[in-house]
Amino acid sequence: MLRGVLDRLLPRGRARAESFGGIIAMERPSALVFVDRAFMRSLGLATPAPVWATDRRYLTAPVEAHLTLTSRCPARCRGCYVDATPSGRGDDATEVLWERAVDELARMGVFHLALGGGEATGAPFLLKLARRARARGMVPNLTTSGLGLGEELLGARAVFGQVNVSLDGVGEDYALARGWDGFEVAAGAIRALQASGFRVGINLVLTRRTFPRLERTVRWARQNGVREVEILRFKPIGRGAREFSDQTLTVDQRRELLPAVLRLARRYRVRLRLDCSMAPFVCAHRPDPAVLTFLGIAGCFAGDHLVAADSAGRVSGCSFLPAEEGLGSIDELSRQWDRVGAFVATRAYLERAGEPCRSCRYLPICRGGCRAVALHEGDAAAPDPECPRVATCTGSQSGPRSNS
């Protein structure tokens, strides 16, 4: 059946050979399909590819690159992972660098760009860059708070794959999460984008205080025709580092997350996605690993499936990790991608994992949890301290038990 579906959709998709076979990227429906060599051959997509003679531990190129196009943003959200301000940090990369970066990533075979900020709509070259990416075969997606969404952008539906609007809560819950009242801005942006024909999703950063109000936001999404909500863990980087101990989920909330999300997804028929850093909270419920793999649930692939550039163009494994020493600039990524020692904290985690990850049956899926949280707690190569299994095995309870 999959073969038949791919036959119909492939003319609108792209494919790339990898050591295990290949990756097929489709836009509508949006999907990345990892297939074996025989499947690639049967589709006539590689016969055989040189990379099949290798035994790589990571991909030949990222599937997705997160580009922080600017450190400027008027919103001043209290947990901003970029530490963005209205005037920016003063070291933003030039338009020329981003153009070179787009060309470089396209040459490497990257499928998706996630364009963000700061507030990406404030980057004067946003649309031009997105068009450049599209012309080179990549799908540019955008994340915005809704501020600065002008007519020109609203007229560019065909350029973007999807626009995700940051909406951490409904009504006063928004301010509870972000420290300013931007709910009407975000809601207005969602409506304007929908009216212009965009595919729209919501990015929701879940905190200790908004966790009990998650249902309100999912219900709002349903009532307002938004079918996808990406739920992200609060990350301890930028201004989020200072806020982390107050905002991160409680021990009980980490355990309650999966049942709550499943219940809300069933009740409201909204696609609720948990970001990569939530994998330990899912694995804590001991689901069948085969089911997790089938559903594409995966943990930390920073510096493998994912790459990121900060607003100065410096490379890191994901946008929640600091720029990595020696990896240079995103417009020269192909020179660094296969360098020995590059992205070592994430790429080598499986081989180097200590207990309790080493003996955990979910290690190949979860990959030790979020490196950004581990780094914040002092060691990027350590197991995620907020994983329920890690907390049980080490006798620690990272974070408060309840929300009081």
- Of residues 128-147, those binding ligand SF4 (CB under 6 A): none
- Please state the closest distance from residue 184 (CB atom) to ligand SF4, in A: 29
Residue 319 CA to residue 66 CA, distance in Å, equals: 6
Smallest gap from residue 308 Cβ to ligand SF4 (A): 8
| Stretch 51-90: interaction string toward ligand SF4, x if CB under 6 A | ----------------------------------------
Residue with Cβ nearer ligand SF4 (77 or 302): 302
Rg (CA), the chain: 20
How many angstroms separate the CA atoms of 33 and 51, rounded?
18
Q: Which helix or strand (DSSP H or E) is residue 308 part of?
A: strand 306-309
- When asked if residue 390 is in the footprint of ligand SF4 (CB under 6 A), the reply is yes
Q: Which of residues 286-315 bind ligand SF4 (CB under 6 A)?
A: 299-300, 302, 306
User: Hunting for tokens 């073969």 — which residue is that?
Assistant: 3
Backbone angles phi, psi at 303, to 5 degrees: 75, 15
Stretch that binds ligand SF4, among 30-38, 90-98, 166-174, 274-282 (CB under 6 A): 274-282
**Number of residues this chain uses to bind ligand SF4 (CB under 6 A):** 27
- In the stretch 233-272, what mask flags binding to ligand SF4 with x, by CB under 6 A? ----------------------------------------
For ligand SF4, the closer of residues 187 and 366 by Cβ is: 366
Task: Give least dist CB 392 to ligand SF4, A.
Answer: 9
Give the x-and-dash track for 349-388 against ligand SF4 (CB under 6 A): -------xx--x-xx--x-xxxxx----------xx--x-
**81 or 220: CB nearest ligand SF4:** 81
- Rounded to a whole number, what is the largest CA-CA distance in the chain? 60
Strands 271-274 and 200-206, bridge-based pairing: unpaired
Measured from the CB atom, is 183 or 362 closer to ligand SF4?
Answer: 362
Binding flag, residue 322, ligand SF4 (CB under 6 A): no
Contact yes or no for 375/339 (Cβ under 8 A) = no
Percent helix, strand and coil across the chain, each rounded to 5? Answer: 40, 15, 45
CA dist., res. 342 & res. 303, Å (int) = 8
Whether omega before 11 lies within 30 degrees of 0, making that bond cis, reads no
Q: How far is the CB of 54 from ligand SF4 (least distance, A)?
A: 24
Q: Which is nearer to ligand SF4, 182 or 317 (CB)?
A: 317
The dihedrals phi and psi of 21, each to the nearest 5 degrees, come to: 155, -90
Residue 253 burial (10 A CB sphere; 0-12, 13-18, 19+): buried
CB of 87 to ligand SF4, least distance (A): 27
Q: Judged by CB under 6 A, does residue 116 bind ligand SF4?
A: no
Regarding 277 and contact with ligand SF4 (CB under 6 A), the answer is yes
State the alpha helices, DSSP H only, in 22-76.
Answer: 37-42
Q: SS3 for 325? A: coil
Closest CA to 134 of 152, 160, 154, 110: 160
* Least distance CB 345 / ligand SF4 (angstroms): 9
Q: Which of 142, 165, 309, 321 binds ligand SF4 (CB under 6 A)?
A: 321
DSSP string, 120-132: GGGSTTHHHHHHH
SS3 of 112, please? Answer: strand
Closest contact distance (angstroms) between CB of 320 and ligand SF4 is 4
Give the pair of three-digit tokens for residue 238: 């930028």
Output the smallest distance, CB 129 to ligand SF4, in A: 23
Q: Does 276 bind ligand SF4 (CB under 6 A)?
A: yes
β-pair partners for 22: 17, 35
- Provide the minimum distance between the beta carbon of 387 and ligand SF4 in the complex, in angstroms, as a whole number: 3
Find the binder of ligand SF4 among 283, 307, 327, 333 (CB under 6 A).
283
Token readout for 12 is 């609108």
Count the neighbouring beta carbons within 10 Å of the beta carbon of residue 272: 20
User: Which of 121/253 has CB closer to ligand SF4?
Assistant: 253
Chain residues in the site for ligand SF4 (CB under 6 A): 276-277, 280, 283, 299-300, 302, 306, 318, 320-321, 356-357, 360, 362-363, 366, 368-372, 383-384, 387, 389-390
